[in-house]
Structure 1
Amino acid sequence: MLYRLTLYLIALFAQLSAVSADPVTAIALHGTPKEPSGFTHFSYVDPRAPKGGRLTLGAYGSFDSVNPLIVKGTPVTGVRDFTIESLMARGLDEPFTLYGLIADTIDVAEDGSSVSFHLNPKAHFSDGRPITADDVIFSLELLRDKGRPNHRTYFSKVAKSERLSDHDVRFTLDAAGDREIPLIIGLMPVLPKHATNPYSFDETSMMAPVGSGPYRIGKVDAGRSLTYVRDPNYWGRDLPVNRGRFNFDEIRFDYYREGSAMFDAFKTGQIDLWPEEDPRRWANGYDFPAIHDGRAVKREFDIGIPAGMTALVFNTRRPVFADPRVREALIYLFDFEWINRTLFAGLYRRTESYFQRSILASPGHPADDHERQLLAPFPDAVKPAIMEGTYRFPTTDGSGRSRENQEHAFKLLQEAGYELKRGRLIQKDTGRALEFEILAVSTAQSALLLSFARDVERLGISVDVRVVDSSQYQQRLTNYDYDMIQNTWSSSLSPGNEQLFRWSAQSAKVPGTYNFAGVQNPAVDAMIDALLAAKSEQDFVSAVRALDRTLLSGDYVIPLFYIPTQWVAFWTRLHHPEKTPLFGYNVDSWWATDKK
């Protein structure tokens, strides 16, 4: 009896010691939340913004599903933003901080072994049914088993789910050292158990989902347009995280097959807002009446998050790019200076880090002691110049011909076993020519891709640029059926579990991840583990920089460029708050002054 009592007390003490002192209404991954307890609205919104009107936005391509949480199909834009809510809401003026939404408090065990949520008793779905702990557990288990690979990866770290009451749920974690997982669970989309069929969930569907967000899906024109309509009974409209947001009565997405057609629609007022990504057009393409008479304007918005990595991506699963010397040679053949000057009005800047434009970027910083300690088990994982922070990508004089870079590239290709025969590079051992295909989804990419193709063809390399429609592109992307693509991995000041989805060896083997390069590198995996386990801000920065160095040293991509600010053109019937958050402009805080 005494023995059993002792065991019970030990277990009880362990359980109590694993619980934090008090549940909190906001949580930051590092440091403390910016907004004080009892805040009334975010600092980057206007709580007096009027409600009403319609916002029409453009989207590229098409869609065949309204479910963005599965691998199959091409989902419509906006479902996660406007219809399906998360347990908590992210503050956009901080690296990674969550505030109460469906869950009004979060309670993370001091040792990170569990996370508990108390649900707001007022929270309900659009059909009026209350949101309960059963819905939360159902959502996690469904996304873990049938969701996108990132959700499967994240939520597989939950060892046990417990319904403590109608409004209380606890998740026990099997990755107690992963400090981000409690926050990742806080961002989990919550689905209604009573209105979601788990057996057909992973199949594409055009049936509007039942959500708890500020908008319902209204009119759907399959593949062409979709309209979100404000829910007059939205339960969370007066929460601090929502005041000043979701101001339009309707938000419509119109789909276009070509970027030029979509821009023409903006010029004639069919689309209200145009985020510009083409420097040539930003410099010279806004000569139309609405700009001249002030009905439409151009604006540059500051942005405080990293620029991320936009690049031409080598699929290292393919034999043609298995040899890193071939990849490095092609990096030397990319003439950024000439392309930027002739194609992009000189407005781009060269990307040199996966976390460009932030303190997390490794270039210019020699590895500190903690980085070197992390990288010590992998002595060949980082190139010496990258370890010292002195490496820079090859440059040219912008003339379009760099003999020095071509000679260096040819030397690397010779080391990889290639020789020049009758104007073509041939692998001596196999007799195969060095040739590859660049897969593209837009003709707007053609100028860049064809310029690069011409540069490498001078060295006897054959390149085929192939443009396919959006559905075929998505299918080939999902199955890694390409040699090279152009891709952008966005970034934040709090990189975490999404890095597993992009770079881990495990994700390289699973269809539908963002590991488009096929990275399978033990050093990369170890650096991701280190950043997930980092407890101090300095250790976190060191781990992210170490990851940056391993990725750069692997020559998995040809880094391209980034825009120093956000370029946005819009019709002046739209208005935005004075302050721009860290994440840049955000249309859910904008409003209209007429009833379009």
Structure 2
Amino acid sequence: MLAFGLSVATGIGGVSAGQSHGIAMHGAPALPADFTHMPYANPDAPKGGRLVQGVLGTFDSLNPLIVRGLAVQQIRGFVIESLMARGNDEAFTLYGLLAKTVETDDTRSYVTFRLDPKARFSDGRPVTAEDVLFSWALLRDKGRPNHRQYYSKVAKAEALDPLTVRFDFGGVQDRELPLILGLMPVLPRHAIDVATFEETSMTAPIGSGPYRVSAVKPGASVTLTRNPDYWGRDLPVNSGLWNFNEIRLDFYREANGQFEAFKRGLYDFRVETEPLRWHDGYDFPAARSGEVIRDTIKTGMPQPSEFLVFNTRRPVFSDVRVRQALTLLFDFEWINRNYFFGLYGRSAGYFAGSELSAYGRAADQRERELLKPFASQIPADILEGSYRLPVTDGSGRDRATLRSALNLLSQAGYDLDGTVLRQHTTRAPLSFEILVTTRDQERIALAFTRDLKRAGIEASVRAVDGVQFDQRRLGFDFDMIQNRYDQSLSPGNEQFFYWGSEAADHQGTRNYMGAKDPAIDAMIAAMLEARDHRAFVSSVRALDRTLMSGFYTIPLFNVQEQWIARWNRIERPEATALTGYLPETWWQRTRVPTQVIQ
């Protein structure tokens, strides 16, 4: 059993900031302590009905907190809650959920959470400080790599009383840690077998969230049923959320079959990612009659971006000049016009369309100071903001970019031998494999191989199913893959997980590119130490410049809007969150005037 202390947490080397209803990464929470609901939720939304969501892929586990298996990600949030909940209208602010209050000091050397005494797991057992400490230790030792990395920074964790937990950081300079711990999923100590936690399982987990798993058809569907005794249903942070009595996740193995099922009304909404389909695929009776509604949503977030990722662990991609040359050979203009109807944009950076992006911006004085120790590896045009991705003539046979690419490849030790590009000394051809898992990925990869062949490069395309693709991606067993990076307006510790040097050697992280660059590590550290917004923005832009300078990826396109299609039996609030669409705020119409097409 845990020993409970009698003292009140006062911080280490600082003055207590007092208990608060929320915590922001920079500044103060936007909502006051007496707020009644989130601005993007409808507190009068009716309860009841069912939401059916079509999911592309499959699953073999109900535990999203471990590396093994393909888990149902919706378990996190719908079934398993965290100490605090995100405010989706702010860059990174948390409000009380399981934890009624949060406390830290000015230096954020510790954080204390006071649990809501009403908090209960779905089996009726109370949520206690013991459960919080158990969850922290379990995920630190056996959870996903990001949990292990974050939670291991805690120097000391203790229960001050049955409802109060304090984490001390022992001098670690990381202002995001209190928020990271606020998002920690809380698991029931009495219902977890530590010995088998890391194994995939179809056993319905016990959580404290608004839903319980009520039915599972392996690989096909999962049904979540709203818990009528949900402890947090009256919390302001939940007002207008979790409105459906039942949520069913139906899994589809193939994208076209998934879309056909939507047209027949077999599930309620879809997030469209295919421009061709969005452009002319919704000319079917239900869409023409208004039974299917199409929403175009502009968010305030960095635009999600697709990239072809070089695995720099492979010798063929170890030279930055080779990576830069292959970037030149990708004909975005031809692909955007012929495949995407010109609906996509393109940026070389990783925070496109936001104030955090360095692409097209000159570095400010603070950025230059941060980058000064690494000045030799930051090209002048990237520092000055004048670097631009190549713009071809859109013909698919642009000669200018081909000449530039061949010049870089020659500097890297490759020359054309007839129609084959070979290494000077070994005479080995420059060749590699592009691993894909969807038809859309395959189409882009095949177009790219055409461009590469003009430079004498032989690239093959291997299509695998989703399970194998994920296994090979997590194990870094590929030459090149397509990957989407989604960023927030408050990037933090997860950036180490994406491209930190330590993550490059740990399977299961998202450092697919294998980046090991002290400059990247230093910029992430500076970002985490930033105390005000201006310093934070400068450090993120400096990080963006180091990533661009490494040419670790080939930028494909940016998704500039969210495309949502829904049957009119589903309604959503008029206000949209900064982060975009949120199905947890939707509800079912009380009267549906038309019949579902079968």
Name the TM-score class by shorter chain: over 0.9
Superposition pairs of residues 69-80 of structure 1, within 5 angstroms: 69-80=65-76
Q: What pairs up with 1:82-231 in 2 under 5 angstroms?
A: 82-231=78-227
Q: Which moved more, 1:93-102 or 1:372-381?
A: 372-381
SS in 2 for 1:350: coil
- In the alignment, structure 1 residue 430 sits paired with structure 2 residue 426: yes
Give the whole-Å Cα distance in 2 for the aligned partners of 1:48 and 1:77. 28
Query: What's the counterpart of residue 448 of structure 1?
Result: 444
Match of 1:329 in 2: 325
SS in 1 for 2:236: coil
Q: Tell whether the 8 Å contact from 1:259 to 1:444 is kept in structure 2 after alignment.
A: no
For residue 182 of structure 1, what is the amino acid of its counterpart?
P
> Matched residue of 1:378: which SS?
helix
Tell me the distance in 2 between the aligned counterparts of 1:254 and 1:12: 49
Pick one of 568, 572, 583 that aligns with 1:572. 568
Q: Which aligned pairs between 1:310-389 and structure 2 lie closer than 5 A?
A: 310-389=306-385
Change (3 A) 1:31 1:14: closer
After superposition, the C-alpha distances for 1:269-293 in whole angstroms (9 at most, x for unaligned) are 0011011111111111111110111
Q: Matched residues in 1 for 2:491 and 2:148: separation?
A: 18
Q: The residue matched to 1:185 in structure 2 has which SS? A: helix
Number of residue pairs matched by the alignment: 586
Encode CA deviations 1:427-454: one digit per residue, 9 max, x unaligned.
Answer: 1222321111111111232211110111
**How far off is 1:53 after superposition?**
0.8
The reply to whether residue 537 of structure 1 matches residue 533 of structure 2 is yes
Tell me: CA distance 1:240–1:484, structure 2 relative to 1, closer, same or farther (3 Å): same
Aligned-residue offset at 1:530: 0.2
The code of the aligned residue for 2:230 comes to: Y
Deviation for aligned residue 1:234: 0.5
What amino acid sits opposite 1:465 in the alignment?
A: V
Range with bigger deviation, 13-22 or 455-464: 13-22
Higher mean C-alpha displacement, 160-169 vs 376-385: 376-385
* Structure 1 SS opposite 2:238: coil
Amino acid at match of 2:305: M
Q: Distance in 2 between matches of 1:40 and 1:165?
A: 29
Deviations 1:390-419 (A, max 9, x none): 111000121222100000001111111112
Q: Is 1:464 aligned with 2:460?
A: yes
For the 8 Å contact 2:88–2:579, the answer to whether it is kept is: yes
Show CA shifts across 1:353-392 (max 9, x none).
2110100001232111111111111122311000001111
Task: Report matched runs for 1:157-306 at 5 Å.
Answer: 157-306=153-302
Q: CA contact under 8 A between 1:237 and 1:243: conserved in structure 2?
A: yes
Matched residue type, 2:23: I
**8 Å CA contact retained: 1:89, 1:98:** yes
TM value normalised by structure 2:
0.96
Partner of residue 491, structure 2: 495
Specify the alignment match of 2:77 in structure 1: 81
Q: Distance in 2 between matches of 1:436 and 1:458?
A: 15
3-state SS of the aligned residue for 2:573?
A: coil
1:225 corresponds to which letter in structure 2?
A: S
Gap change, CA 1:453 and 1:174, over 3 Å in 2: farther
2:513 & 2:411 partners in 1: Cα distance? 23
SS in 2 for 1:377: helix
Structure 2, unmatched stretches of 5+, are 1-6
**What residue is the counterpart of 2:3 in the other structure?**
none
Partner AA of 1:109 in structure 2: D
**Aligned equivalents of 1:368, 1:57: Cα separation in 2:** 45
1:473 & 1:515 partners in 2: Cα distance?
A: 16
Quick one: structure 1 residues 292 and 16, their matched pair in 2 at CA, closer, same or farther if it must change by over 3 Å?
closer
- Are 2:89 and 1:58 equivalent residues in the alignment? no
Change in Cα spacing, 1:16 to 1:564, as seen in structure 2 (3 Å) is: closer
- Whether the 8 Å contact between 1:223 and 1:255 is mirrored in structure 2 is yes
Report the equivalent of 1:585. 581
**Structure 1 residues without counterparts, runs of 5 or longer:** 1-10
TM-superposition CA deviations, 1:134-165 (whole Å, max 9, x none): 00011111111111110111001101111111
Give the one of 12, 26, 31 matched to 2:27.
31
Contact 2:153 2:172 in 1 (8 A): no
Aligned-partner Cα distance in 1 for 2:207–2:8:
38
For the 8 Å contact 2:8–2:160, the answer to whether it is kept is no
Q: Residues 400 and 135 of structure 1: is their aligned pair in 2 closer, same or farther, counting only changes over 3 Å?
A: same
Amino acid at match of 2:145: P
Q: Distance in 1 between matches of 2:224 and 2:68?
A: 22
The answer to whether the 8 A contact 1:245-1:590 is kept is yes
The alpha carbon displacement at 1:19 in A equals 4.3
**Alpha-carbon spacing, 1:340–1:130, altered in 2? closer, same or farther (3 Å):** same
CA contact (8 A) 1:348 1:562 kept: yes
Give the conservation status (yes or no) of the 8 Å contact 2:414–2:422.
yes
Match of 1:479 among 475, 481, 505: 475
Q: Does the Cα contact within 8 Å between 1:297 and 1:570 map onto a contact in 2?
A: yes
Q: Any idea what SS the aligned residue of 2:271 has?
A: strand
Change in Cα spacing, 1:363 to 1:235, as seen in structure 2 (3 Å) is same
- Cα distance in 2 for residues equivalent to 1:309 and 1:515: 16
- What SS does structure 1 have at the residue aligned with 2:81? coil
Kindly provide the CA deviation profile for residues 93-125 of structure 1, in whole angstroms up to 9, marking residues without a partner as x.
Answer: 000000010001000122221100000000010
Of 442-451 and 185-194, the range deviating more from structure 2: 442-451
CA–CA separation in structure 1 for the residues paired with 2:11 and 2:488: 34
Query: Could you tell me which amino acid in structure 1 is paired with residue 266 of structure 2?
Result: Q
TM-score, normalised to structure 1, is 0.96
Amino acid of the structure 2 residue aligned with 1:319: P
CA distance in 2, matches of 1:570, 1:123: 34
RMSD: 1.5
**CA shift in 2, pair 1:121/1:13, >3 Å:** closer
- In 1, Cα distance between the equivalents of 2:107 and 2:349? 33
Instruction: Work out the percentage of aligned pairs sharing the same amino acid.
Output: 53
Determine whether 1:404 maps to 2:400: yes
Taking the aligned partners of 1:19 and 1:184, their CA distance within structure 2 comes to 21
